[in-house]
Structure 1
Amino acid sequence: MPLSSIVIILAMVGYAVYRQSQRHEIVGSSRFKLAIIYGVVGIAIGGYHVPAGGLAWTFLLVSIALSVVVGLARGRFTRVWPENGGVWAQGTPLSIGLFLGLVVAKFALGTVAYFTGVSDSGGIGEVLLMIAVMVAFQAEIVWRRARPLGARESSADGVRVAR
């Protein structure tokens, strides 16, 4: 893996952990922004290849399923509360740990696939795409929890200030 890819993944993981530790207002229309960023960067970096065989497809499907399950769990365990006319969210140590665990698990799956000869074509782009899937599922669950509490659908609905 090129050094530039390692720097990019470390920067994006660091940014994600930072963002999760900060409180932010939930706005429905922008809930997939981070997932889109991860997806675009993952595609731009490359390193994703269509699986060549049945076992490689199994590894890919397990990876996607893991991203979905972790995203659903993170959405459930993200702290959500109404305040000052808005609805706010902040990651918890558990939701941040689940994120880091997914990154480690994805690298572990790729390593096992490589050393068992199942696939040697996985890369950093694939990891970022799996993170994008997780973040998208998390964002939807958080949105579904926040909407009944009065979360705004769009930024045009008024600006809230964190205190």
Structure 2
Amino acid sequence: MPASSLVIILAMVGYAVYKQSQRHEVVGSSRFRLAIIYGVVGIAIGGYHVPPNGLAWLFLGLSVALSVVVGLARGRYTRIWAEGGSVYAQGTALTIGLFLGMVVVKFALGTVAYFAGISDSGGIGEVLLMIAVMVAFQAELVWRRAQPLGARESSKDVVGVAR
């Protein structure tokens, strides 16, 4: 992996941890913003290739499944509350730990696939795409949990006005 890719992944992981630790308003129309950012950067960086064999497809499937499961767990354990007519969310030590653990497992899966001769085509772009999948599932679950508390669909909605 080139040093530039390592710097990018470290910056993206640092940014994600920072964003998770900050309180933010839950707004439906922007819930997938972070997932889109990760997906676009993952595609722009490249490093994703079609798996060359059945075992590589299995590894990819496991990676996607892990992203979905971790995303749902993070969505379930993200702290959500209503305050002043808005609904807010903030990551917890558990959700941040799940995120960091998933990144480590993604790199471990790639390393195992490489040294076992299963696939040598995985890269940083693939890791970022898997993070995008996780963040998208988390965002959707947080949104669904926030709706009954009165979360706004759009940033143009007026805070505190009954719908």
Alignment-derived partner of residue 71 in structure 1: 71
Alignment-derived partner of residue 109 in structure 1: 109
1:52-73 alpha-carbon deviations (Å, 9 max, x no partner):
1100000000000000000000
* Cα distance between partner residues in 2 of 1:109 and 1:78: 26
1:6-62 alpha-carbon deviations (Å, 9 max, x no partner):
111000000000000000000000000000000000000000000011000000000
CA RMSD of the aligned region, Å? 0.9
Alignment-derived partner of residue 52 in structure 1: 52
* Cα distance between partner residues in 2 of 1:103 and 1:124: 11
* Cα distance between partner residues in 2 of 1:145 and 1:129: 25
TM-score (norm 1): 0.97
Identity of aligned residues (%): 82
1:95-124 alpha-carbon deviations (Å, 9 max, x no partner):
000000000000000000000000000000
Q: Which amino acid aligns with 1:31?
A: R
Contact 2:27 2:153 in 1 (8 A): yes
Question: 1:158 deviation in Å?
Answer: 2.9
Where structure 1 has 5 or more consecutive residues not aligned to the other structure, the ranges are none
Where structure 2 has 5 or more consecutive residues not aligned to the other structure, the ranges are none
* Cα distance between partner residues in 2 of 1:101 and 1:93: 12
Structure 1 residue ranges, 4+ long, deviating more than 6 angstroms after superposition: none
Q: Which amino acid aligns with 1:101?
A: G
* Cα distance between partner residues in 1 of 2:74 and 2:92: 9
* Cα distance between partner residues in 1 of 2:132 and 2:32: 9
Q: Which amino acid aligns with 2:29?
A: S
Alignment-derived partner of residue 89 in structure 2: 89
Count of matched residue positions in the alignment of Structure 1 and Structure 2: 160
Q: Which amino acid aligns with 1:121?
A: S
